Structures are given as structure tokens and as C-alpha cells.
Amino acid sequence: MSAQIPNVQSTDELREKWMKPEVITGSEMLLRSLLLEGVECVFGYPGGAVLYIYDAMHGFDDFKHLLTRHEQGAIHAADGYARASGKVGVCIATSGPGATNLVTGIATAYMDSVPLVVITGNVATTLIGTDAFQEADITGITMPITKHSYLVRDVEDLPRIIHEAFHIANTGRKGPVLIDIPKDVSAAKSLFKPHTEPVMMRGYNPRVLPNKLQLDKLHQAIAEAKRPLILAGGGVVYSGGHEELLKFVETTGIPITTTLLGLGGFPSGHDLWIGMPGMHGTYAANNAIQQSDLLISIGARFDDRVTGKLDGFAPHARIAHIDIDPAEIGKNVKTDIPIVGDVKTVLEMLNIEAGHSSYADEWRTTIAGWKKEKPFRYDDSEEVLKPQWVVEMLNDTTRGEAIVTTDVGQHQMWAAQYYRFNKPRSWVTSGGLGTMGFGFPSAIGAQMANPERLVISINGDGGMQMCAQELAICAINNIPVKVVVMNNQVLGMVRQWQELIYDNRYSHIDLSGSPDFVKLAEAYGVKGLRATNKQEAAAAWQEAMDTPGPVLVEFVVNKHENVYPMVPQGATIDQMLMGDKE
Amino acid sequence: MIPTTLKHTIAVLVNDQPGVLQRVSGLFGRRGFNIESITVGQSEEAGLSRMVIVTTGDENTLEQVEKQLYKIIDVIKVIDLSSRPMVARELALIKVKAEPAERPEIMGVIETFRAAVVDIGPSSLMVQVVGDTEKIDAMIELLKPYGIRELSRTGATAMIRGNV
Ligand SMILES: Cc1ncc(C[n+]2csc(CCOP(=O)(O)OP(=O)(O)O)c2C)c(N)n1
């Protein structure tokens, strides 16, 4: 059995039919417009304000609608769908509480530049502003966390707005766009004129082509640099520029570090790859940044988890910054060579004249030395199950071919450290917002986008309990996500901080009272397995892999494990705690 | 370069959409940019409004303000007016305590500033003054001793000189 994948029936014939102007309701316009945008799957939850929309969906099977058990599940699933596919994720919720339940997910997508179209219902236009039942000013509430938003006041605007929303969401710096549709607008009838022509908006012209002079400057800087380094981020994945990046790195011979969101944008096994930088980054990457004389940021935004103490960040480096969003340039780090443009396009252009960075031989040797000297390491054990070992096992059995989604905490960092990524869009994690509850529902979306691939969702026992209800969706739709719960019985990452920074004062981190995860899975009709040592772990995982359909595997892991290296807050990134017992 | 905290006057041409003022002012608050004054009204083009915002900050702040403003889809153009010769004007209405006996003296102040009396009450005068910020500040200072009962300023609106 494979997942009940979207069965799109929007044939050319149907499309032609929709193109004929016809008087229909706003709700029907919405559905047709979504189909015209190529939507295959939406995640949602009904309620009074969207009942006309759901009514229009009755018996409609041109795209798949997944009824989640919480709106947060719906939006994280839409997010996972978008990250794993590059297409726009779509979710629908009702007004008021339905809409506000989306807020965390919208903010998550906004921080990580994920293209979403979020459709909310609202009370009728005549009731807006009266504190009507289930009214919330969701456009106002989400203004700081959306790329753009619409409150539709006239049904005639709907086709245009939907077309614009998809365009805005998935061009330039991507992001979530909200469309708030009052109930009377979804009920109103009007002549439907499909909107398919190119979007022209005066205030919206993302710059794709970089300035040639700046590219020349960068070539010059590379030719002169003795210790050049590339810092690649999520922008590489989002622009689809991973092949161009590989070519650029191989031509220039410049070592490369990829941020948390950049994982998969460059093959982890490559000689010139030196791991992830920042708070839990590699010794090699952090040292390399600090000693580099030219740092080329490609689609990365100098997040504080990457830079550590800003004052002492890359103190010897000239900074080149390639980004589609001009506002990122100079926001956190002073830039010497600003390059505004689409990462893929910029790399394509750079590759035309790229030459080998010939002064950097000594530097490459130094970095290779660091890499060898201090790779990620942990003390393995035969008595207790080590979470790092579990990730290594997952990696070995899947050979980096799976799509991995994670929740937030220690397990997320171990997954980032010990799993090896060779393909873009194989790594789905909440970076900017660090949203617990994201890991599992995002896997559902990732699986819907990739019915044939293996999707593994790695969660902590804390975060798993934030959206566990979506197990129902996996069971009912036979979505074969393999759900991993790393059960350390505590809020692990918080425990780590309390141990290292708050003097072992363990305040409110004990997760006693968690459900029996195996039984929880079974209660939803999902197979549950538990492992407490290596033998059981290997066997359970094998069984999970052999089982078609969803499986939850609980690994009972060592509670006292910490993530190393760790850069304490306020320190520069080369001041790493390595966790070695002296 | 020594960072300097300067006053900047920025003109922002925006789509005349509901919520656009909220988008712009919200951005300032959220990003920790200061707004000294903000005025909004119609522009020369139907469907577009012009906002004039007076803000303070160093050059980096100004650069970020401009870049972040451009990220708002309804923002069409951002111009740093204070980088060029400009004319900035604001209007103030001042209700000043004025018993009949004091009026001649107050009228003297008003005439010097080429302000106007726009309403007269039994014991007060309403004064309207138009000018740059300094002029209005000065006018207020001079009227203070008589007792200001109410004061309302519009904030600056501005344009670059000449035919740019
Ligand atoms: C919604 C939300 N609430 C709180 C936090 C703060 N936080 C970050 S990591 C963490 C602990 C996570 O514990 P668990 O899910 O058990 O994963 P572990 O760290 O043990 O792997 C917490 C509470 C967060 N990131 N998101």
C-alpha cells in the first residue's frame, strides 16, 4: 500500500471548461482558482465561516483535502509539503479560533521563507469590526509574520487575489501569504473570469539578476583570498541552485559550510564540506569562519545562532553576501560585496568566469586537519541507548536517501549532526522560529508531496506531544511516515541549558506523565514499537522499515546526553565547549 | 565613520489599500525604528497615497528602514527627502488662554510669525501656524507664558525642491 496520494483530475478538458466565463459562488471560484495554480493537496479544518467553501468541496476530488485534527497540524503539514516539494503549501481554516490556531505555523514559515497560501474564513463583511461570534482580525494579527495578506471584500477580486497570492508566495524571498475571505464573499455569486495572465504589481519586483560589477568584485576577491570560505544557507535549496553551487565549489576549490536550513543544498560527503556552523556546529566550520579572509554567504542570513557574538564574528574576513532579499544585506553583518539576486542565477553567472582559488592550498590543508582532528563525537555505550547512535543507525539503513523532518531540541541537533544529506529538500526542520510541534505534522506534508519516498520524522518526547493527534491522519489515509520518538523523559535541550548555564537547577523539565507512546500510536490505529537497547533498536527499526504504512518507534534514550560542541551564548563561535571529559 | 543620530524625512508612496498605514507603522515599531511623526494623504496619482515619515537614527538604520519598507508589497517608492534640498511644512492649532486685556500682546506674537487667529472664545484664542518644525516650536515657546490649553500638530509633510 502506498499513501493515498492526490489524485488530480484537473484535465485539460476540465481546465478548458473553467476558462469559460460562468456565474458561480466565491467558494467555487476559490476551488477552481486553486486548481488553476496546480494545487494537488490542501490541509484544513472546517468551521462556520468556511462552510460555503467546504460545501463546494463536497464530492469534489480534483485535489485532496486532508482533515487534520488541529489547525496547527494543518499549517505545519502545508509547510512540510512546501519545503519538501518546492511548491506552494495550502491550508484552510475557519475564522477566529481556527485562524489564530494557525499563527505559530505562519510565523514558522515566515522565518524560514516557506511559500504558503493560507486561506481563512472570516465573519460576513457586515459584521467585521463588531466583535461578532468567532471574529478575529487575522490580517492584523498576522501582519508581522506574512509576506503579504488580503482581506477580500468583493467576490470579483477573488480570482485575481488568489493568482497574486501564489505568485507572491513563491517568488523573490518566499513566504506565507494570507487570504482572509468573509463568509458573505464565499457565498456571493459572480461571473468567474479565471486569472492566469502574468502578475503585474507595481510594488513588487523581486530582483533576479545581480549587478555585474559586484560579480567581478567577487571574482577579484576570490583570486586574492588566501583563506576563502563559503557559508551556504536555505536560499540555495529554495532557489534550486544546488547543482550550480556544487560546480562553483568544485571549480573554485573553496571549502563550504552549510547552515541548518542549508543542509542538503550541498552533498555532506564532499571533501570540501566542513559541516554546519554556529552554536552546535563543527569545530572545523566555526574555526574556518573565524580565520577566513573572505566569507561568501550564499542564501544565508547571518542568524545569531550562526554568528554567535556579532562583534567577534569572522573578524578577519571581507564579507560577500548573495541574497534575493536586499534587506538582508547589511542587516546583521557589514557587507563588503553585496550581491542582490536569485542564488541560482547568481551562481550560474559566477560559474561562467569562476577560476580556481589558487592561494588557498595551505588553507584547505588546515581545514582538512580540523575536520579530521575533531569531528562530531560521542561516547557510545552498551548499557544505554545513545540518541546519536540512533541517528547514525537511521542514516546507515537509509543511506541518506530518506526525507527527514525534525522537531526542535537536542534530537534536532543530533539529526543535523549525524544524518548525511545528499539531496536538497530532504531535510525539513524549523530553523528560524524553532517551533516544537512542527516535526511530526510537517512529515505528513512531506509525504504527501513525495508519496514514493521514505519519510522519517524525528521528534523528542516533549514536542511529539504537541501535535500527536495527527497520528489519526496517518492511520486513516495510510500515510506511511516513520515516526521516531527519542524519549529521554525530559525536555532535553532545556535540561542541557539548565545543566551548563543554570548550575544544574533543573526547573520544570521532567516529562513524567507522558503517555505510553506505543499505546498512543495503537490508540490511533498506527503500529507502535519500543526499543531500549541497541539490539531492540535495530530490530524495531527493521520492522518499521518492513511495515507498509505508518509506524511509530519509540527509542528510550539516555537522559543525560548533551549536544556538543556548544557555543555558549555571548561567546564568539570559536569558543566552543567540546564536552570532552578531561 | 562615527555613527550619527540624525533626523530623516522619508516619503513613501503606497497603494491606497486598507491596512497599509498599519503595515508601515507596524514595521517601524516591530523593527525598533523610531517614528517622530507620520502624515498620510492623497498623492498626485489616483489610488496612491503619500506618507511622510520623520524618523531618527544613524545611516545604517536609515538604510534598513528603506530596505524593509520596500519589502512591503503595497509600498511603491521610498525617497529619503532629507538627503536633498527639501521643503517641509507642518501645521499646528494652538488654543491659548487670552483674557481680553492680554489679546493685543498675543496678537503681536501671532503677526510676527505670520500665523492666524482662526477662532475667538470668551477667554481664549485659537491660533493656526504653518511652517517648518523649528518655527512651530518657537511659536509654542512664545505662547507658553500665556497658558496653552490645547495643542495639535500635524507632523511634517515634505517635498524635494525644484523639478525632480
Ligand atoms: C513551542 C515551543 N515551546 C518551547 C520551546 C523551547 N524549547 C526548545 S527545545 C525544548 C525541549 C524539547 O524537548 P523534547 O521535545 O523532549 O526534545 P529533546 O530536546 O529532549 O530532544 C524546549 C521546551 C520551543 N522551541 N517551542
Q: Which three cell numbers stand for residue B47?
A: 489610488
Take atom 13 of ligand 1 and give the residue whose Cα is closest.
Answer: A491
A148 contact B CB<8A: yes
Q: How many CB pairs below 8 Å do chains A and B form together?
A: 41
Are the Cβ atoms of A203 and B68 closer than 8 angstroms?
no
| DSSP code for A552 | E
pLDDT at residue A222 greater than cutoff 90: yes
Q: What is the CATH number of domain A387-556?
A: 3.40.50.970
Q: What pLDDT is recorded for position A358?
A: 93
Query: Quick one: how far is CA A193 from the chain centroid?
Result: 35
**Which of the residues A28, A37, A40, A71 is marked catalytic?**
A71
Confidence of residue A61 (pLDDT cuts 50, 70, 90): confident
A310 contact B CB<8A: no
pLDDT digit string (tens) for A356-387? 999 999 999 999 999 999 999 999 999 999 99
Indicate if A192 belongs to the active site.
Answer: no
Atom of ligand 1 nearest to the CA of A492: 20
Measured between beta carbons, which residues in chain B are less than 8 angstroms from residue A326?
67, 70
Q: Where are the domains of chain B?
A: 6-83, 87-160
Q: What pLDDT is recorded for position A1?
A: 38
pLDDT digit string (tens) for A488-520? 999 999 999 999 999 999 999 999 999 999 999
**Which of the residues A4, A19, A64, A134 is marked catalytic?**
A134
* A204 → closest Cβ in B19, B64, B73: B73
Q: What pLDDT is recorded for position A14?
A: 74
A14 contact B CB<8A: no
- Mutational pocket test of ligand 1: of A72, A414, A486, A494, the residue with most ligand atoms within 8 Å of the beta carbon: A494
Separation between Cα atoms, residue A398 and residue A10, nearest integer Å: 35
Q: Which of A394, A466, A474 is nearest to A427 (CA)?
A: A394
Are the Cβ atoms of B75 and A330 closer than 8 angstroms?
no
The set of residues, in sequence order, having a beta carbon less than 8 Å from that of A76 and lying 6+ positions away, is: A105, A108, A435, A437, A438, A441, A442, A445, A467
Confidence of residue B4 (pLDDT cuts 50, 70, 90): low
The CA-atom distances, in angstroms, between A556 and each of A392, A482, A490, A529, A564 are: 16, 16, 11, 11, 20
Confidence of residue A7 (pLDDT cuts 50, 70, 90): low
Instruction: Compute the average pLDDT of residues A188-214.
Output: 94
User: Would you state the CATH architecture of domain A11-192?
Assistant: 3-Layer(aba) Sandwich (3.40)
For the four alpha carbons of A273, A279, A284 and A286, in that order, the dihedral sign comes to positive
pLDDT digit string (tens) for A387-400? 999 999 999 999 88
Instruction: Compute the average pLDDT of residues A228-233.
Output: 98
Q: What is the CATH number of domain B6-83?
A: 3.30.70.260
Flag the least confident range among A1-5, A101-105, A188-192, B137-141: A1-5
Q: Is A387 in the pocket of ligand 1 (CB under 6 A)?
A: no
pLDDT at residue A480 greater than cutoff 70: yes
Which residue do the cell numbers 511530526 mark?
A440
Please check whether residue A113 is in contact with residue A238, taking contact to mean a CB–CB distance below 8 angstroms.
yes
pLDDT at residue B144 greater than cutoff 60: yes
Separation between Cα atoms, residue A133 and residue A130, nearest integer Å: 9
Q: What pLDDT is recorded for position A73?
A: 98
Confidence of residue B163 (pLDDT cuts 50, 70, 90): confident
pLDDT at residue A354 greater than cutoff 50: yes
Delimit the CATH 3.40.50.1220 region(s) of chain A: 214-373
Pairing of strands A189-192, A22-25: antiparallel
Separation between Cα atoms, residue A320 and residue A295, nearest integer Å: 6
What is the Å distance from ligand 1's center to A492 Cα? 7
Topology at the third CATH level for domain B87-160: Alpha-Beta Plaits (3.30.70)
Instruction: Kindly state the helix (H) or strand (E) to which residue A15 belongs, with its residue range.
Output: helix A12-19
Take atom 24 of ligand 1 and give the residue whose Cα is closest.
Answer: A436
Take atom 8 of ligand 1 and give the residue whose Cα is closest.
Answer: A409
Q: Which of A92, A182, A177 is nearest to A134 (CA)?
A: A182
Reduced to 3 states, what is the DSSP secondary structure of residue B78? strand
Count other Cβ atoms within 10 Å, centred on residue A509: 17
Please check whether residue A259 is in contact with residue A278, taking contact to mean a CB–CB distance below 8 angstroms.
yes
Q: What pLDDT is recorded for position A370?
A: 97
Separation between Cα atoms, residue A568 and residue B1, nearest integer Å: 31
Q: Which three cell numbers stand for residue A233?
A: 544557507
Count other Cβ atoms within 10 Å, centred on residue A294: 25
pLDDT at residue B3 greater than cutoff 70: no
Measured between beta carbons, which residues in chain B are less than 8 angstroms from residue A204?
73
Q: Which three cell numbers stand for residue A522?
A: 495503537
* B67 → closest Cβ in A139, A204, A326: A326
Separation between Cα atoms, residue A474 and residue A427, nearest integer Å: 20
pLDDT at residue B1 greater than cutoff 60: no
3-state secondary structure string across A534-547: HHHHHHHHHHHHHC
3-state secondary structure string across A31-99: HHHHHHCCCCEEEECCCHHHHHHHHHHCCCCCCEEEECCCHHHHHHHHHHHHHHHCCCEEEEECCCHHH
Please check whether residue B24 is in contact with residue B11, taking contact to mean a CB–CB distance below 8 angstroms.
no
Instruction: Kindly state the helix (H) or strand (E) to which residue A245 belongs, with its residue range.
Output: helix A242-252
Judged by CB atoms within 8 Å, which residues 50-69 of A form the interface with B?
none
Q: In CATH, which superfamily holds the domain spanning A214-373?
A: TPP-binding domain (3.40.50.1220)
C-alpha distance from A329 to closest chain B C-alpha (Å): 9
Atom of ligand 1 nearest to the CA of A464: 15
Q: Which three cell numbers stand for residue A137?
A: 482580525
| DSSP code for A267 | -
The CA-atom distances, in angstroms, between B86 and each of B48, B52, B132 are: 21, 12, 11
pLDDT digit string (tens) for B71-103? 999 999 999 999 999 999 999 999 999 999 999
Measured between beta carbons, which residues in chain B are less than 8 angstroms from residue A327?
64, 67-68, 70-71
Indicate if A134 belongs to the active site.
Answer: yes
Separation between Cα atoms, residue A75 and residue A98, nearest integer Å: 11
Separation between Cα atoms, residue B62 and residue B6, nearest integer Å: 9
Q: Is A85 in the pocket of ligand 1 (CB under 6 A)?
A: no
Delimit the CATH 3.40.50.970 region(s) of chain A: 11-192, 387-556
Q: What pLDDT is recorded for position A582?
A: 47
Q: Which of A198, A201, A206 is nearest to A342 (CA)?
A: A206
A206 contact B CB<8A: no
Alpha helices by DSSP H, A399-506 = 410-418, 439-449, 471-477, 492-500
Q: What pLDDT is recorded for position A44?
A: 98
pLDDT digit string (tens) for A111-165? 999 999 999 999 999 999 999 999 999 999 999 999 999 999 999 999 999 999 9
Backbone angles phi, psi at B54, to 5 degrees: -105, 125
Q: What pLDDT is recorded for position B2?
A: 52
Are the Cβ atoms of B26 and A201 closer than 8 angstroms?
no
Residues in chain B: 164
